[in-house]
Every structure is written in C-alpha cells, then in structure tokens.
Structure 1
C-alpha cells in the first residue's frame, strides 16, 4: 500500500500552507464544532492527515481515532505534541473499519472529493454510518463546485497565480471529474503536480446519506455556522444516523 497522492513530498510541507483553513482561528472553530457534536463520546476522523483538526480536538478532551492512507502524513502527526495519543489506522477511509462506536465522524477540507468515483463516495457514507452509534453524526466540509466561474467552452479555473507558482482546477462537467494542478518554478526548474478529485453537490451528498441510513440535520457556510446560501463557496453539513 502506497501513500497515494499524499506522499513525503506533500507531507513535508503540508502544514506550511497559508490557506485560510490552516489559520488558528479556523482550526479552533472546526475543532469546537466537532467537539460539540461529540459530547461525551469519541470522534472518528476520515483522512486524519497530519492532525490539523484531530490534535486540537483531542486537546479538548475528545477521544479521537483516525483513518488515513498516507503513512507520510501520519508520521507528521506522530511527531507533534500529543500525536502519540491519537490512534490511527492505515487504510482507505471509504472501506476501512476500526473497533469501537463513535458519536461523530468527520471529513474536512474537501477530502470527500479524494474519492474519485460516486461508488467510493457512497461507500464512505456507509462506512461512516457503520461506525456511528444511533443518533451519531457525520460531518463533511467541502467546497461548492465552482462551475459558475466557467464560461462556455472553458474547463479551467485558476485559484493561485504568483511570480513562480501557479495553481488551477480542471473540470469535466460530463463526469464530475476534476483535478487540482500545481506548477512551481525553483532555480529555473519547473515541477508539476496533479491531484484527481470528483466534485459533488450538496443534494447529491444528501442522497448518499439517505442511502446510508442518515438524514440531513444542519448545513452551514462555515464552521462558525454562517447561513448557507446560493453564494456560499463551501458548506459544512451534518447528517444524523437514524
């Protein structure tokens, strides 16, 4: 089993990101949101990565277990203070089972889209539901597909343009396949990296939840519970196990 698209080259700099999701206020807001759903129970993070959310959640007293395919990312988690106290199972979070029953399972920062087929995304919902106790919740943070930015005939949306680096998404509206692509130039030499995704609509996620025996409980524009509207660029959705 390899690390997929999140090997050592990505893990080494992952926590250095300057994106808004990595700001301390955003991290604490997410951890507080999940902790409120966990109550006196345990939390399961699908795609735990370097522990960006898991560690502050555990610091709040919530027992956390994670599933992740990337040993390189998990090694970064283990090296952080408190990292050894978080249980991690290496595997595909769409299908890997771990012992125990959880009050909340969560999947953040567009990670549901790392599953590149609808079948795998449906399996992920079923896997989350199988780990939850009755009344438990599954939380996903994911972007709203940016198709409104695509004029007719265009398939590319840039999201970063710098002096020596560029990043852009490529969409296939017929299949819901997309990729995020990164170009970096250092010392006159260029490097290219591409990560495949499958974008998914909120209503489609609701149907996946229904197939897994869950129903929508709440949906917000962010972790601070701002209202979700037609202008929202992402959503935080909570489904409850029936």
Structure 2
C-alpha cells in the first residue's frame, strides 16, 4: 500500500518494498532471503539458515522483532527483546511465537551474524532526502545495540555513532571508505528502482548491516525514517 502525505509518499508494507528491490539483480545480492510468515516458511528457513529474524510487515523502531534459532534437530530458541525461550519442538516454539504476534502480519528474514562493537551488534542507517528535485545524503550513522539486545534501534536504547566510526570500531579503519561507497551505491540504485515504481517519495531511510565476513546487507528501506 502506498500513501501520499504532505511530507512525501509512504510505502508501509516491507514485503512490497522488498519485492520491488529484488527485481534488480545487483540489489538482490545484498537482501537476505525473505518470506511471508507461516509455519512452513519458518520451518524451511530455519532448516536452511539456522537463524532467522521475524518482524512485523508494517512497523518501525524495532517493535515486535523476534530472533529464532534452531539449535539441534528438534531444539529451538527465540529471543524477544531481553528474554530468550527454549523449546524441545518446533510446534511448541511456533505456538509461543504466535501469542506474541496477536493479529499482525509478519515476515521472516534470514538472520545475519553482524559485526560487533564490544560484543554488541551494529548496523547502519543511511538517510536520503529529496530537496528541490535532487537527492542528497542527510546522514550515514551506525547504531550499536544496547547490552543484552539484538535490535539496534535508538527507541530500544541503541547508541548512535558516525558511520565511519562504527565501521572502524567493528571491522577496522581500513574498510571505512569502501563500505561507505558500497552503501551509497546501493542507496542510489535502490532509490532509482523505487522511484521507477512509485513517484512522490522525498525521504528514505536505508538499514544496512555488515556481517562478520565483511559483506553488506540491506535489511529494509523506510519511507518515514526516524
């Protein structure tokens, strides 16, 4: 669903935006495998990836995000904010997750082992805004998770640092220039792809992560970046 408001067009559905971006092969290489939430999809993705993140189809600020891991053949854990639960079967784990979801719709995304700063995951927000018909970068920042959390959002206690400092602290100063270049490339390419489908957008917030092998991942794009 696309909504046009005074401050620009809003695309709320994460899956819709992901599907648009997946039409470009270069961008697709940097988007973790993503599916709509269902028991079958969750089971298949856990078997394939071992760790997934479940998040609301519409929402922001890290609210409602759940991390699920398959530990052994029939043992699972999921983490919701600071609480981690253990299960001896998929069915018992799935039943518990459903209680947290209420009636909202969710998607499942492959979990990424993010590079860390002092043991805490870090990701990056690139804010891109359109003024007088031209796009410009308003910010490239790193967000370090609060101790005990896997979500990095500032609303959940995350700490803000410059993008350069975050890259330097997590994977090394020698990578700063290249990783920021990659983020800019993906931001500009993704914006062109989105604008080819939807007109009227004037602010975008791209969420990127760098994994422990140094690969850039794009988790989502927000049309109402906070």
Give the number of the structure with larger relative contact order, counting CA–CA contacts within 8 Å between residues 6 or more apart: 2
Q: Normalising to structure 2: TM-score of the pair?
A: 0.30
- Greater fraction strand: 2
Q: Normalising to structure 1: TM-score of the pair?
A: 0.29
